Amino acid sequence: MQSATHQKDVEAGSKVAGQPRSTKSTVLESGAAMTQDFSPIQNICAHLNAFHVYASDPTRVVEANHYCGHLTEDVRQCLLYDSPSPGARLIGVEYMIKPHLYETLPHEERRLWHSHVFEVKSGMLVMPQPNPLVPQAVWNKAETAEMEEVIKLYGKVYHLWQVDRGDKLPLGEPQLMTSITAEGQVAGLEKIMDERDQRFAGCDWRQKKEIRKGIEEPRIHPGADYTWKKS
């Protein structure tokens, strides 16, 4: 079996610039992992998977694995990776806030945030099942409970690495991203979700869409989802 460290190098392959790590680097990394305190990332409590589009070009779709933790009851922060594997690239960050905080934002700031209603109700946003031994019905219940909370939130997301165009380094300025908020906005979305579902055990967006029909849809503030209102 390959070690997680070696697996990182294998997965990086031609995707990232530079040579595979040396034995010295690997040893130092292993030693640091055993002795240092990583409290900020130990706050992560949820893995969510969904798709973002560029606010400047909504035809460009990027899959993002969100690893999220709560700062307060009203504010979450997420690290975004291009995959859930050991060699994943950190491609961005997302902040999520509850409606009462969103409503305090200035007009121009509100335009940077997106809603999560369509993500949840369409089955596009998923919480991948961590262990195949967990009964599917049990996991569906836990995931649905999480979706009942996420559907109310507003997100602000920037991608730092444009992996969809093949960049081997995080080049250029951070890119404001947004969510898909309605059917028909992105061509071939169902196919994209089907391909995603094949990589996660027990993941079926059509089934999730059906399960989530009963989740109450909150009113979306008119200041959000500005990308889709510019034209």
The full 3-state SS of the chain, as one line of letters, equals CCCHHHHHHHHHHHHCCCCCCCHHHHHHHHHHHHHCCCHHHHCCCEEEEEEEEECCEEEEEEEEEEEEEECCCCEEEEEEECCCCCCCCEEEEEEEECHHHHCCCCHHHHCCCEECHHHHHCCCCECCCCCCCCCHHHHHHHHHHHHHHHCCCEEEEEECCCHHHCCCCCCCCCEEEEECCCCCCCCCHHHHHHHHHCCCCCCCHHHHHHHHHHCCCCCCCCCCCHHHHCC
pLDDT digits (tens, 9 = 90+) for 50-72: 999 999 999 999 999 999 999 99
Residue type, 140: N
pTM of the model: 0.87
Supply 231's token pair: 């034209």
Where exactly are the structural domains of the chain?
A: 44-229
d(CA 191, CA 8): 28
pLDDT digits (tens, 9 = 90+) for 105-139: 999 999 999 999 999 999 999 999 877 788 888 99
Question: Which residue, chain included where needed, has tokens 């690997």?
Answer: 26
d(CA 94, CA 52): 11
Q: Say if residue 7 is exposed, middle or buried (CB neighbours under 10 Å; 0-12, 13-18, 19+).
A: middle
Half-sphere exposure in the Cβ direction for 132 (13 Å, CA): 3
pLDDT category at 28 given cuts 50, 70, 90 is: very low
For residue 1, is pLDDT > 50? no
pLDDT category at 231 given cuts 50, 70, 90 is: low
Give the mean pLDDT of 170-177: 98
Q: Dihedral, CA atoms, 198, 13, 177, 213, nearest 10 degrees?
A: 10
What's the N-to-C CA distance of the chain in angstroms? Answer: 52
Supply 28's token pair: 């130092």
For residue 140, is pLDDT > 80? yes
